[in-house]
Amino acid sequence: MINSHCKLLIVTFDDIDILQEIKQRVGDYLQCDIVAKTNHHPKVRMSAKQYFGLFSNANDFLSLLVPLRNGYDFVLGIVKRDLYVPRLKFVLGLANPLESVSIISLARLKSSNKKRYIDRAVKEAIHELGHLLGIEHCGNPKCVMRFSNRVSDIDKKDDKFCEKCVRLLRE
């Protein structure tokens, strides 16, 4: 989808039991080389206590990812805890296209059905990486770039860009 020369770094801040599945499916779909690393940064542990001790500011994670981008086209962070941004109680993910970094939270994606859990995580990862590629939210209810305000929204969409978004990628 992007090109075979794309290099993506996935940084986990927690132990992610479905990391290999995410890495495989995202890499296959976007056709990019992926390296995965774990980063238990001390600042992350401190920021986890913010917002009533349950949520972390997604922007704090993006700031930690920027210096790790060296040598990679994009960086995707993955955390287990809930994320928020000012003025929103929670976010499922966040991207900073100017810095080519993004983050997703698995906190609300959990399911007793492992396949559904993996599908949700892959969709969120591709969605945030889509923002890094310059794609905005899409009105197509099946497109991975459709805005998701809740987990049921994620379940309704595909794990792919719609034709319109693919055309935008190729422009």
Sheet of strand 88-91, all strands in order from the earlier edge strand to the far edge: 55-57, 82-85, 88-91
- How far CA 35 is from CA of 20, 56, 59, 141, in Å, comes to 11, 25, 22, 31
Contacts of 43 (CB under 8 A, 6+ apart): 60, 64
Q: Where do we find the tokens 């719609």?
A: 162
User: Which stretches does DSSP call E strand in 60-167?
Assistant: 74-79, 82-85, 88-91, 93-96, 101-105
The C-alpha atoms of residue 61 and residue 140 are separated, in whole angstroms, by 29
The catalytic position among 128, 136, 163, 171 is 128
Is 128 considered catalytic here? yes
Q: Which residues are catalytic?
A: 128
